[in-house]
Amino acid sequence: MSEGGLSTKTVQAPAKVNLFLRVLELRSDGYHELETLILPISLADRLEIHADADPSFRTLAFSLEVTGDDDLVERVPRDEANLVVRACLALARRTGVHGFADISLEKRVPVAAGLGGGSADAAAALWALNDLWGCGLGPVGLRDVGASVGSDVPALMVGGPVLARGRGERVEPAPMRPLSLVLVTFPFSVSAAEAFRCWDQAGGPTGPDPAAVLDPGSEVEALAASLFNDLEEPMTRLHPEIGRAKRTLLEGGALGAAMSGSGPTVYGVMPGPTVRLEARAEREIAGLSGRPPGYVTSTGHKP
Ligand code: C5P
């Protein structure tokens, strides 16, 4: 989605949940071989990008401003740890452009929460800058740049439900029904590296065949009953709140629940867009996580 003048674009960067996440093995390069279903959701950051490139520019200039709630903004890195910065530099390096990019990032997605917020920002920035800078990369080339930025970036460049394999960079669209979800986010972050280390230390459990989640004809009850995440159990041992949030979601009306990505966010699948958790469960979640549960829908489905 974009709007604006010739050299300015405003784009949404939808977060994601993982409907299943299977860790298959630790690879010799330190990454883990994965199989995961990534579903974009209506919770999104917003980027306003003003950029231009031209052979008459002699350098590449870049600026990043971050706005949003204080507790979110203070946790967004401004250096190369920020995936938007990395995406911008990687695209410029790949295509040799000279010019500028001034990016204003309105942050709404919790940071390092398993929701892919930083990766979504990078994915949105790559699409927009490819256009504004006139780089001319196609989807495959652009996803390749995305993979050099982070494992989740190529999947979030697709703009709909995706089955991701390899370290996450091998992606294919996965048609599925729209879902109504409820999110439990926490005031603490975890790094993906830490979550995968926990999986290694737990002896590397691998979950079941995810056929029911992948079948676009599955009823929502069957799909919700089949959610799983191989990183969840090891992470729950480290942060028991994750397990308590999941139990509360299931007791409060969710059809199924799981941790998203490397956590700590836990999501539940609700029977429909207007259905809320029981009031008691909403209160328990607010007490556990310090914030009310957030109701969202999945996005990017083909009509
Ligand atoms: O690729 P990305 O920078 O997002 O990965 C962050 C960290 O998460 C990696 O350094 C690695 O420790 C871990 N990771 C992994 N296997 C994956 C993806 C990420 O071990 N498939």
The tens digit of pLDDT for each residue in 168-227 reads 999 999 999 999 999 999 999 999 999 999 999 999 889 999 999 999 899 999 999 999
Burial 96-112 (b: 16+ CB within 10 A, else e): ebebbbbbebbbbbbbb
Q: Measured in angstroms, how far is the CA atom of residue 145 from the centroid of ligand 1?
A: 16
pLDDT for the residue 5: 45
pLDDT tens track for 185-194: 999 999 999 9
- The mean predicted confidence, pLDDT, of the chain is 95
Q: Are strands 99-107 and 266-270 parallel, antiparallel or unpaired?
A: unpaired
The residue to which tokens 């390899």 are assigned: 166
Half-sphere exposure of 163 (CA within 13 A, CB side): 12
pTM: 0.96
Residues 6+ apart with CB under 8 A from 49: 8, 9, 10, 11, 101, 102, 103, 104, 125, 128, 129, 132
Quick one: tokens of 238?
């480290």
Paired with 14 in beta bridges are 44
* Active-site hit among 45, 107, 121, 152: 152
Ranges of residues in the chain with a pLDDT under 70 are 1-6
Q: Are the beta carbons of 250 and 206 closer than 8 angstroms?
A: no
Helices (H), the chain: 70-73, 83-95, 117-132, 139-149, 153-156, 192-201, 211-214, 220-225, 232-238, 241-251, 279-289
| CA triple 167-169-174, angle to 5 deg | 110
Quickly tell me which residue has 């737990």 as its tokens. Answer: 202
Name the residue at shortest CA distance from atom 7 of ligand 1: 193
Mutate to test the pocket of ligand 1, among 151, 165, 194, 199 (most ligand atoms within 8 A of CB): 151
Active site residue 121: no
pLDDT of residue 55: 85
DSSP 284: H
Residue with the smallest CA separation from ligand 1 atom 13 is 193
The Cα-based distances of 234 to 35, 210, 260 in angstroms read 18, 20, 13
Active-site residue flag, 16: yes
Residue 98, CB-side half-sphere exposure with 13 Å CA sphere: 6
CA separation (Å) from 219 to 176, 252, 255?
11, 20, 11
CA–centroid distance, 278 to ligand 1, in Å, is 36
- The b-or-e profile of 158-171 (16+ CB within 10 A means b, else e) is bebbbbbbbbbbeb
